[in-house]
């Protein structure tokens, strides 16, 4: 496990774009898993800039959403599908997202994960981490061997999306997610974290015990993880980086 610390959110965006673009340059037909949330947005803007000026080429890459809300239309503001439409403009070959309006969401997300596995799995999976330690929508209590499924979202996760949905009441109560075991099958993983409010959970995930109580701690068992942190997110780490 590698931990990189950069000065601030701007530097994190540049470094994250470097890692993603390097992966696609090394393997143009990369299968890339991408998260939603505020942290990766500047990185996505930087990648799009590089593509626009010819510094990067994603025309053979496939991008996969790693989670989605359940029980709402794709076009609902706040869904991950709408997030990708707004922020991911890389000229990729294809963008694969779970369908939030699937009538059988459990069956749908399992089929989505199976199709990804048949395609060869993720070459690089970029993740964020929630303040409660979740990765994708794997909430606290998620075991290491959990697979793609529908989950009930915690109050903390729903509150984090209240603004994009317009209100807390509008945020769906359930989401679909690739499981911890599915994420750990990615060949490489990069975790992007910024802001001081996540410093405590970052320390628990990197330096604490591997436990379902902090799903991000399961990443310790993967041999190819890079944690990319800004200085505020890294502030509680006790060991050298």
**Residue 149 lies inside a defined structural domain of this protein:** yes
Number of domains comprising the chain: 1
Q: Is the pLDDT of residue 241 over 70?
A: no
Region of 166 please: left (phi>0), alpha (psi -120 to 50) or beta: left
**Residue 34 lies inside a defined structural domain of this protein:** yes
Tell me the pLDDT tens digit for each residue of 194-212: 999 999 999 999 999 999 9
Q: Is the pLDDT of residue 61 over 60?
A: yes
**Residue 132 lies inside a defined structural domain of this protein:** yes
**Residue 157 lies inside a defined structural domain of this protein:** yes
Tell me the pLDDT tens digit for each residue of 97-115: 999 999 999 999 999 999 9
Domain extent for 222: 2-230
**Residue 236 lies inside a defined structural domain of this protein:** no
**Residue 240 lies inside a defined structural domain of this protein:** no
Q: Is the pLDDT of residue 86 over 60?
A: yes
Tell me the pLDDT tens digit for each residue of 37-54: 999 999 999 999 999 999
The tally of CA atoms less than 13 A away on the side-chain side of residue 41 is 8
**Residue 161 lies inside a defined structural domain of this protein:** yes
CATH number at residue 108: 3.40.50.1360
CA 21 vs. chain centroid, Å, equals: 16
Mean pLDDT of 64-79: 97
Active site residues: 67, 132, 134, 139
Q: Is the pLDDT of residue 118 over 50?
A: yes
């Amino acid at each position: 496990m590698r931990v990189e610390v950069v000065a601030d959110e701007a530097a994190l965006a540049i470094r994250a774009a470097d890692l993603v673009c390097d992966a696609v340059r090394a393997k143009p037909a990369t299968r890339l898993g991408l998260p939603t949330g505020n942290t990766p947005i500047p990185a996505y803007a930087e990648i799009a800039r590089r593509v626009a000026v010819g510094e990067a080429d994603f025309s053979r890459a496939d991008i996969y959403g790693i989670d989605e809300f359940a029980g709402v239309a794709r076009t609902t503001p706040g869904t991950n599908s709408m997030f990708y439409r707004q922020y991911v403009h890389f000229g990729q070959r294809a963008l694969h997202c779970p369908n939030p309006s699937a009538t059988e969401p459990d069956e749908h997300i399992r089929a989505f994960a199976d199709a990804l596995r048949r395609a060869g799995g993720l070459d690089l999976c970029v993740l964020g981490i929630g303040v409660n330690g979740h990765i994708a929508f794997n909430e606290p209590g998620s075991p290491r061997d959990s697979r793609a499924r529908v989950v009930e979202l915690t109050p903390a996760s729903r509150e984090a999306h209240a603004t994009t949905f317009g209100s807390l009441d509008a945020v769906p109560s359930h989401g679909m997610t690739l499981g911890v075991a599915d994420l750990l099958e990615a060949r490489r993983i990069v975790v992007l974290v910024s802001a001081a409010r996540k410093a405590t959970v970052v320390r628990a995930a990197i330096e604490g015990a591997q436990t379902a109580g902090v799903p991000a701690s399961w990443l310790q068992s993967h041999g190819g993880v890079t944690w990319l942190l800004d200085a505020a997110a890294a502030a509680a780490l006790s060991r050298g980086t």
